[in-house]
Structure 1
Amino acid sequence: MTRCRLCGSTALESVVDLGATPPCESFLAAERLDAPEPTYPLHLRVCTDCWLAQIPPLITPEETFSEYAYFSSYSSSWVEHARVFVEDAAARVGLGEDSFVVEVASNDGYLLRHVVDRDVRCLGVEPSVNVGAAAREAGVPTLTAFLSPETGAAVRAEHGPADLVVANNVYAHIPDVIGFTKGLRALVADDGWVSVEVQHLLTLIEENQYDTIYHEHFQYYTVASAIRALASGGLTLVDVELLPTHGGSLRLWARPEEAAGEPGRRVADVLAREKAAGLQELSGYTEFSARVAKVRRDLLRFLVDAAEEGRTVVGYGAPGKGNTLLNHCGIRPDLLPYTVDRNPYKHGRYTPGTRIPVLPPERIAADRPDYVLVLPWNLRAELVEQLAYVHEWGGRLVFPIPELSIVEVER
């Protein structure tokens, strides 16, 4: 990487180098286990001119998202998060029977189903053929396409301008951040609203959440860098909410610049927090790599000690973040014989790079392991409740992030 993808600067400084890994959602079918597997460098850098943290665009969105292994509806808490968002957004924007809502990267319709339930006209724009088909089967109108300025203009011409455009957990996934933002502007009405949810770089660094760095996340935002990114497409940030999702996320509320007005107080408050954390100077980034290395050492030490003591450890979940962690730590089936996942699409497949089998969740109760390593740590509250049954045989849960913790669960 030689230039910042947002401002074009060459002033890029290393934050953390995680080596080379396969794309995190490229789960392997059994017949592919003896085939070569491509890997790509995973090196996070920050631009010291606009402070956008980013990795090189070594794989294309088309390679990752044309068929996708992640279905949002398999997380109960995430579906509930979407329901509450739609309820709150309807009040903020004033959604009614004449309104139109577009969600970009709408996945399997987990969010727009709540818009459909309100009898509000909507459309999902989803590039993955398989999850878009699932959305249509659930009654959510969905266009299979990547967002670009041209796509946004075509949707607007056919359906009219959107009163609300939702872009949750996608703003990090596109290498052409300027073109994508122009696409958002093309979709939204001149007096409409755009809502963007994206992981907050502040909590990523403060909480050691390095496993959320992977190839389909091309950039990592602060409010300061998000303001500049939104402005590149003619949008102005007017409000921000701090969310607990994904370990700490931003909900950015933006409007076309001609309708925006002055930003609310919360924008200034979060900007001040970021500045106090040193994220507008290199000092805020220099210790991160050392803390990442400690997470790796602690997890490996636990797994090796458990193996030496004859204790069994299996995984729960097969999220993209888990594959960054497994590959960076060099964890193989000798230390983690399998993981389980609620998504049947992944059953019978193997994690990229580390070749760990993915099995149905029922396998845990059948095998009664001593420890369950929870890979989607961001769903901690939900999964502590779901996995309470491991208490029946004295099993315990292990969370690797932000630091290794072993949890006794009770029914």
Structure 2
Amino acid sequence: MEKLEMNCRFCKNSLKYVFVNLGETPLANSYLTKETMNEVEKKIPLQAFVCEKCFLVQVEEFEKAKNIFNDYAYFSSYSTSWLDHVKLFADEMIDRFNLSDKDQIIEIASNDGYLLKNFKNKHIPILGIEPASNVAKIAENNGIPTVVKFFSFETAQEIVDAGKKAHLLLAFNVLPHVPNLNDFVLGMKKIIHENGVIVIQFSAYLLDVIQKCEFDMVYHEHFSYFSLFTLKKIFESNNLEIFDVKEIPVHGGSLRLFLKSTQNNEIKIEDSVKNLLKKEENFGLRKISTYLQFQKNVEKSKKSIQEFFIKAKEAEKKIVCYGAAAKGNTVLNFCEITKNDIDYIVDISPHKQGKFLPGTHIPIYFPEKIKETRPDYIVILAWNLKDEIIEQTSFIKEWGGKFVVLIPKVKILK
């Protein structure tokens, strides 16, 4: 394997092994406008490395997080299934931890306030921390108090100094986006009440990524990809302990972790932790050879995706895509699919409509356009929302249209 001048962002071990190399691509959420279409697009190497010591899979930080997340195109409120998911989660947390109006909830990367509003509706004090000013502004307008900052130990210190500590600290879909892991985790430890609980949930759980060949989960905004084994090491080195874990079937396979301070002896450790650690070990997540097989599987997947588009074009089929998601941009750019293969893409978010995908320059429209052009195939790029998308566009059956997913392998849905 090639030698690299890069150290693990957790344990600082020198990185020697490539987990996956997806070539050079633009930032996955850097959508283009008509005005910027003719400018030279910045393309950055997209490859992930694996640390042979702690098994953290990681992408090099070519682009600073502040440049990626300052004006972010992802608004959580545009997925109804996700909103249902977090409402159920909030109700569970209120019951499990007996939360009341005397408890403080703080959420890191609170986006447009979609999760915190469920606690606000139950009169529980809330505070959001969100680095993207455009998204934070929407939260503020909806009555969700939001600190517009990146979360760090320094940010945690400022909030504690202002008299706030979390009885429940939430971090949904943020941990993979953190370049400085140790500082971030130290900040979490700082901001919780001595008996406080942290709940972290994230997609691109490494076991799922490898098992299901979800290479589209790899993009520049995702700095790290975690197994429970690695996370246990990271948290314990910062005096935090995982006391429960759940595999959640959203976003293609997510992990939900429950943490407490190591000094808090009132909460017992559930069997779920040792059970999942054993499952990971049995699969081979503590062997470097498991990680080095991934690229071969990705190349097979790429070949099948390219063959689908070639055959569809030969048969003069009209193809459009649903979901201008980061994961879709990874697939299209890596598999060299262009606007010659795809007529257009649709997305329910008005923040993406009228723009163009990075790299491929495929135009993005409102979903209603599908009724106008009556395509033969709708390729669902946001496959984590597959059921929701199929329900919203079931009308394609009127003209014999079919849905297609590309990951883990090309499948035309009946």
TM-score (norm 2): 0.96
Structure 2 residue 330 is the aligned partner of structure 1 residue 330: no
- Distance in structure 1 (CA, Å) of the matches to 2:94 and 2:165: 17
Q: For residue 258 of structure 1, give the secondary structure of its aligned residue in structure 2.
A: coil
1:140 corresponds to 2:144: yes
Is the aligned partner of 1:106 residue 2:118?
no
Alignment identity in percent? 36
SS at match of 2:39: coil
1:57 Cα deviation from its structure 2 partner: 1.0
Listed one character per residue, the Cα deviations across residues 135-175 of structure 1 (whole Å, up to 9, x for unaligned) are 11122111111001111111122242110000010000011
- Whether 1:289 and 2:334 are equivalent positions in the alignment is no
Query: Where in structure 2 are there 5+ consecutive unaligned residues?
Result: none
Aligned match for 1:22, one of 26, 32, 57:
26
Other-structure match for 1:223 = 228
Aligned residue identity for 1:226: L
Distance in 2 between residues matched to 1:286 and 1:107, nearest whole Å: 35
Is 1:320 matched up with 2:342?
no
In 1: Cα distance, 2:258 partner to 2:374 partner: 46
Q: 1:312-345 CA deviation, whole Å, 9 max, x = no partner?
A: 0001010111111111011111001210001111
CA–CA distance in 1 between the matches of 2:153 and 2:208? 31
Equivalent position of 1:150 in the other structure: 154
Runs of 4+ aligned structure 1 residues displaced above 3 Å come to none
Q: Determine the structure 1 residue equivalent to 2:101.
A: 97
- Separation in 2, partners of 1:126, 1:14: 32
Instruction: Look up the SS of the partner of 1:190 in the other structure.
Output: strand
Partner of 1:243: 248
1:11 Cα deviation after fit: 4.4
Paired residue secondary structure (2:162): helix
Q: Distance in 1 between matches of 2:29 and 2:214?
A: 18
Matched, 1:381 2:387: yes
For residue 205 of structure 1, what is the aligned residue in structure 2? 210
Which residues of 2 match residues 289-308 of structure 1 at below 5 A? 289-308=295-314
Shift of 1:280: 0.4
Question: For 1:358, which of 356, 361, 364 is the aligned residue?
Answer: 364
Q: Which moved more, 1:298-307 or 1:347-356?
A: 298-307
Report the Cα offset of residue 296 of structure 1.
Answer: 1.3
**Counterpart in the other structure of 2:124:** 120
Paired residues for 1:127-206 under 5 Å: 127-199=131-203, 200-206=205-211
Find the aligned partners of 1:88 and 1:12 in 2 and give their Cα distance: 43
Q: Deviations over 1:2-25 (max 9, x none)?
A: 211100111431111101111100
C-alpha contact 1:77 1:382 (8 A) present in aligned 2:
yes
| Counterpart selection for 1:277 from 273, 283, 286 | 283
3-state SS in 2 of match to 1:95: coil
Secondary structure of 1:240's counterpart equals: strand
Unpaired runs of 5+ residues, structure 1, are none
Report whether the alignment pairs 1:346 with 2:352. Answer: yes
Offset at residue 366 of structure 1 (A): 1.2
Moved more, 384-393 or 310-319: 384-393
How far apart, CA to CA, are the structure 2 residues paired with 1:77 and 1:232?
36
**1:234 and 2:239 equivalent?**
yes
The whole-number CA distance in structure 1 between the counterparts of 2:62 and 2:151 is 19
Alignment length, in residue pairs?
408
Which residue identity lines up with residue 346 of structure 2 in the other structure?
Answer: V
Match of 1:86?
A: 90
Distance 1:59 1:303 in 2: 32
1:68–1:131 CA contact under 8 A, matched in 2: yes
Native 8 Å contact 1:182 1:232 kept in 2: no
Residue type matched to 2:360 in 1?
T
Given that 1:198 and 1:221 are in contact with CA atoms closer than 8 Å, whether structure 2 keeps it comes out as: no
Give yes or no for the alignment of 1:51 onto 2:41. Answer: no
Q: Distance in 2 between matches of 1:387 and 1:186?
A: 46
Q: Provide the C-alpha distance between the structure 2 equivalents of 1:214 and 1:189, rounded to a whole number of angstroms.
A: 34
User: Which residue is equivalent to 2:79?
Assistant: 75
Alpha-carbon deviation of 1:371? 0.3
Matched residues in 2 for 1:123 and 1:208: separation?
37
Q: TM-score, normalised by structure 1?
A: 0.97
Q: Is the 8 A contact 2:15 2:49 kept in 1?
A: no
Asked if 2 retains the 8 angstrom alpha-carbon contact of 1:93 and 1:163, the reply is no
Displacement, 1:262? 5.0
Structure 2: distance between partners of 1:208 and 1:40: 22
* TM-fit CA distance, 1:231: 2.3
Q: CA deviation at 1:385?
A: 1.5
Q: Which amino acid aligns with 2:364?
A: V
Deviations 1:195-215 (A, max 9, x none): 111231000110011101000
**Per-residue Cα deviation, 1:219-242 (whole angstroms, up to 9, x for no partner):** 100001111122233211111011
Rounded to whole Å, the distance in 1 between the matches of 2:237 and 2:40 is 40
Using the TM superposition, give the Cα deviation of residue 93 of structure 1 relative to its aligned residue in structure 2, in angstroms.
1.8
Q: Is the 8 A contact 1:4 1:12 kept in 2?
A: no
Equivalents in 2 of 1:229, 1:36: separation in Å?
A: 39
Answer yes or no: is 1:311 the counterpart of 2:317.
yes
